[in-house]
Structures are given as C-alpha cells and as structure tokens.
Amino acid sequence: MSALFKLYVIDPPKPLCWNTPRSLLMTAFRNSLFFDYAPIGHVFVELIANTPNPYGVSHFVTGMSRVSKKDSKKVVIKNQLGFGSFFHDFAGTLDPSDEARVEIEKARKKNRLKVLTAQINDERAQALMKFIEQWISSGAFRHYGGGHNPKKGDGAGCAEFAMICLAIAQGCPSTHESWVREVHVAREFVGVIEERRVSFTKILLHGAQWAEPGQESYFYRTTDPELISKWASAQFPNQTEIELQRPDVNTAGALDVAIQFEAKYPIETAETVQAVWNKIEV
C-alpha cells in the first residue's frame, strides 16, 4: 500500500500585490487587519506512512511558523526592519497537528484551500520522516524566515519548508517555476537590527518600484502560496483537491535536496525531539 503525502496550500484572505514595495506593504498591512491565521498565506504538510518511525509516529501534519506573530510584529516595528523582515531570523516552531487541522478546515470553508496529494512509496516516506527528525534534532525548526537556506538546515519559512518536504517525498526537484516569487529589494528599504532602520513611511513615500539593475539591493526568492494556488486553478480548473503526478511539478534531474545541516545550532535533547514529534503527530 502506498504512503500518502499532502500539501495544504492556504491563500491569504485577500491577494497581495507585489507590483511595487509600496503596494506589497499596503496589501500586507490590509491583510493583517483581518487577524487571520494566514495573512500572507500558509502551507502545511501531511504524511501518512505505513511504518512508524523510531518515535512511534506514522502520521503527522505540520508546517513552519513563527512562535508568535504578535512578537514578530513587535520586532519588525520596534527595530524598523522594513523589508528586512524578508531576511530576519524569527523564533520558529513546527505547527501542532491539532492547530493545523483546525486552520485547514477553516480555510476549506472559506474556499481558500488547495490540497495537493502525492502517492509515494514507503522508502520516500521514511526519507521524509528522517528529514523531519534531523530538522528537529538539529534545532532548524526554531528558525523561521526567508533569509535561511533550508538545504543547509538553517531554518525556513512555511513554503520553503513545504517544498523541501515535497521534493523528498517525490524523490525529485518539485518546485514548479511558476510557484516562485523573485524581487530585488533596494538596500534603502532593508532594515538590519542595530545597523539600519527603515520606516514604513519611507517605503510608502519612495517605494514606487523594486530595485533597478545596478542598484545596490538584496535578492529575495521564495515559493509563494498564492502562486501555487493560481497554478493549481489553471492546471486543474474547478478542483480543490488535486492528485499530483511527478511530471506535474518535476523540474527534471536528480534529487537536488542534499540536506547538509551545516548550521551549528545547539543539538536538541532526546526529550525535546520526542515532544515535538508528539506535537505534530495525528
């Protein structure tokens, strides 16, 4: 019997506008007023395996999140990070399975959910279990944000974490090119704690365009839940639950997900690792 892997892709309450720094700031702020779980979208992953791992888990649902959205906002506002929030290392955690399942059902009822399902063999399921174990034990799960390299075990945002899980589950590169958002952010809009402050007012007044060629800037690349959802709607009209085949998302080539776990975070205790598994288990 095949194991089952799922991506739960949640759209933001209203679309974000990435045309300019100003439009992104304004639409992100608007979405924050909804007090929604996923103001910029979110992605959960689920695995239903045939064989339990050494922690007794064969079924989990989780995703990468900030420990506290409220505290994260305080960090951004107090330190005037501006678009430095793209790259900042926020305190991260893996979503508990009970909370994840509640949010998935809320999104389903609001027609903001796409479910991408892949039938996988037990070898791929166990490889994903092993990756999650390393993600926890290495401390990578405590680091949330877009400035990380998940292939080095630095940490990740929710979508990049989900893409690593999808690639391991499918045994091939699995981030479709149309799912990826790329922008060059002018240095003047990227705040750095104790180095450079960027007010929202500055972005509103001067953020009419992303950085031009030759302008000092930071490159930001991320998988975007909204783009995954748009792709799914275009490829599978009127479907909210989609069974993925490898050719649907395979970018060709061998598995390019050699996770090195080079980040030297403190190694988690066996008790902590078991507790996290217990939290994400279904």
**Residues 31-72: tens digit of each pLDDT:** 998 888 899 999 999 999 999 999 999 999 999 999 998 899
Mean pLDDT of 119-143: 95
| Minimum mean pLDDT range among 242-246, 262-266, 272-276 | 242-246
How much is the pTM? 0.94
Q: At residue 200, does pLDDT exceed 90?
A: yes
What burial letters (b/e) apply to 17-33, b meaning 16+ CB within 10 Å?
ebeebbebbbbbeebee
Dihedral of the CA atoms 59, 13, 158, 77 (nearest 10)?
Answer: -140
Q: What pLDDT does residue 170 have?
A: 87
252 or 124, greater pLDDT:
124
Q: What pLDDT does residue 255 have?
A: 44
- Taking the C-alpha atoms of residue 222 and residue 158, their distance in angstroms, rounded to an integer, is 10
Q: Mean pLDDT, the chain, as a whole number?
A: 92
| Minimum mean pLDDT range among 73-82, 137-146, 251-260 | 251-260
Are 231 and 17 a contacting pair, CB within 8 Å? Answer: no
Q: At residue 171, does pLDDT exceed 50?
A: yes
Mean pLDDT of 95-102: 98
Mean pLDDT of 269-276: 98
Q: What pLDDT does residue 1 have?
A: 73
Cβ count near 109 (within 10 Å) = 9
- Of the candidates 37, 64, 258, 244, the one whose C-alpha atom is nearest the C-alpha of residue 142 is 64
Mean pLDDT of 140-164: 93
- What is the SS3 assignment for 38-94? CCCCEEEEEEECCCCCCCCCCEEEECEEECCHHHHHHHHHHCCCEHHHHCCCEEEEE
pLDDT band at 238 (very low <50, low <70, confident <90, very high): very high
Mean pLDDT of 98-109: 97
